Amino acid sequence: MSKEMIDAALRRAADTKACVIGDGVLRETAAVFKAQFPGVARAIVVCDPRTRAAAGERVEELLREAGVDVAEYVLEPGGRTFHADYHYAAEVRDAIAKAAAAHPGEAMVPVAAGSGVVNDLVKRASGELNIPYMTAATAASVDGYSSFGAALRSPEGAKQTYPCPAPRAIIADLDVMRTAPAWMAASGFADLMAKVPAGADWILAYELGASEWHDSAWHTVQDGLKDAIGDPEGVAAMKTEPMTRFVEGLMLGGFAMQDMQSSRPASGAEHLFSHLLEMRDHTYKGEIVPHGIQVGVFTLFMCRVYEQMLAFDYSRLDVEQCLRNWRPLEEQERDGAVAFAGTKFPEIGVKAVRAKFVDRDALRARLESFKARWPQIRARLEGQLVPSAEMERRLRVVGAPTTPEEIGSTVEASLADARKTIFMRDRYMSLDFLAITGQLDDFARRAFSAACP
């Protein structure tokens, strides 16, 4: 991976025009601001108390020295931990609008100084105000800095991606990121490793005729991925070269989402387990479990599921048995409704069913084609995946959990969620396929049994 890959991704990105990664690059904030927002002399820095100390104060100082009039908005100034809830985005939006109203007719640029939550809140707020923004990343914790859309919990409690443009410019100072708690880099590394089974889910869905393909987005994420996650020891030690590759990998995931205007290039079934936990306000020992930490557990699970799939000869798939597992739309809609009955978002499952539904004849054609091409599909999946034992080792090296119990969940709850993920999104994944082949429950239990003998 190299700066050339970042430059190529920027040329395809819909929104981001500059991304500076390296040791000490926070000092370039004002120069990047001036280049990307020519003629603008006002900014509002949005942060929380921790990220204000890490970078926000310095960003404000640098901008003022460059002649920019800077306002500030601090989220939860008392230091209370907060989540990426939509009401905070509305709070940020109102703060930006109020600061801008004090100088009518003059452009103002929001600057997010923070990690994933702060960035997503400013991203959505800026999108609602239809103004560009920039971000100074304070931790290597997510791929969302550069992504299209903001992953927020809705007022009803459902985790969803709100459409909004990515930042115009990103500053990712490794020295600043080194000051963040170690778990944040572990979270980001786990989130980046998720692109391995997520890529397999995309391959499988495409080969089944259940997903579109976007070649440039695929290559943006995948071409340098194995290099980016190849040195967990170096990342754990915060060494410059492996940290640079790792942070570049995070940014490239977001750029691919900009390119495709979808999170498909960067997330698969492993992310949906995390979304389900977040929608239930899941905590462990009184604390919110970070998104990437959750994702890492289910990334390992999905790699183990895929190993079982690769060991099965789908060229001998009993298509007629699969068709007996198929159910009419009305029955599947009822299943989708039951999946989220009693929640504030009961319609999610029904919408997912309708989006992914195919009739019996279409399913037969899909499965027969898949069966005939299994050797080629298997080879493609095999080339995508990393052995689960190695994935587990890397997660451990960076300090990321690998079992449901380590994040305050259980195997039984996770097995139930494996079924529920099917009703979470309109995106087709391996677990949808295993449900129709009748292998989902068995493969899922075996995958978790590998973690809990």
Composition of the chain by helix, strand, coil, percent to 5: 60, 10, 30
Q: What is the pLDDT of residue 40?
A: 97
Query: What average pLDDT does the segment 82-109 reach?
Result: 95
Q: How far apart are CA 214 and CA 222, in angstroms?
A: 12
Pairwise CA distance, residues 438 & 419, whole Å: 12
Please determine, for residue 451, whether its predicted confidence score (pLDDT) is greater than 70: no
H or E, element range at 136 = strand 134-137
pLDDT band at residue 196 under the 50/70/90 scheme: very high
What whole-number distance in Å separates Cα of residue 269 and Cα of residue 271?
5
Domains and CATH numbers, the chain: 3-180 (3.40.50.1970), 201-211+264-449 (no CATH)
Q: What is the pLDDT of residues 241-298, one digit of tens each?
A: 999 999 999 999 999 999 998 999 999 999 999 999 988 889 999 888 999 999 999 9
Asked if pLDDT for residue 158 goes beyond 80, the answer is: no
In this predicted structure, the answer to whether residue 404 has a pLDDT above a threshold of 90 is yes
Return the pLDDT at 453: 41
Number of helices and strands in the chain (H, E): 24, 10
User: What are the tokens at 349?
Assistant: 């499952």
- Per-residue pLDDT tens digits for 310-338: 999 999 999 999 999 999 999 999 999 99
Q: Quick check: 452 pLDDT over 70? A: no
pLDDT single digits (tens) 40-77: 999 999 999 999 999 999 999 999 999 999 999 999 99
Block residue for tokens 């923004």: 133
Q: Residues 113, 136: contact at Cβ < 8 Å?
A: yes
Q: Does the pLDDT at position 22 exceed 80?
A: yes
Query: Each residue of 371-402: pLDDT tens digit?
Result: 999 999 999 999 999 999 999 999 999 999 99
pLDDT at residue 363 above 60? yes
What is the pLDDT of the chain when averaged over all its residues?
95
How far apart are the C-alpha atoms of 85 and 160, rounded to whole Å? Answer: 10
Strand 159-162, strand 150-153: pairing: antiparallel
Task: Give me the pLDDT at residue 397, please.
Answer: 98
Give the residue-averaged pLDDT of 173-182. Answer: 97
Amino acid found at 58: R
The pLDDT, as a whole number, for residue 241 is 97
Give the pLDDT of residue 426: 92
